[in-house]
Amino acid sequence: MATVHSDRNWKIKIYPDDHAPPHFHVQTPDGESLVEIDGLQVLGKGANPKALKAALAWATSHKAELQRIWNEQNRRH
């Protein structure tokens, strides 16, 4: 698992060999949300809404990096 970015109360992670579509996980002390990289659509809710908003703001400027890490972590052999 790659922790791509972390802030005070949230982390963005990408797991190896994860399911499609390409996405990342936003983890907070309250829970976790899944977010599709292309379009930043929230697929699963559970993270603290304020932390999720901050994570999405960060992800907006780092979509290419998120996609690159997804591709590295999820190569099909």
> pLDDT tens across 19-76, in order?
999 999 999 999 999 999 999 999 988 999 999 999 999 999 999 999 999 999 998 6
Record the pTM: 0.92
Residue 2 reports pLDDT greater than 90: no
- Ranges of each domain in the chain: 24-77
Where do the DSSP E strands lie in 1-77?
Answer: 2-6, 11-14, 23-28, 31-36, 42-44
pLDDT for residue 1: 72
CA distances from 50 to 1, 8, 56, 69 (A): 24, 12, 10, 25
Identify whether the C-beta of residue 27 lies closer than 8 Å to the C-beta of residue 9.
no
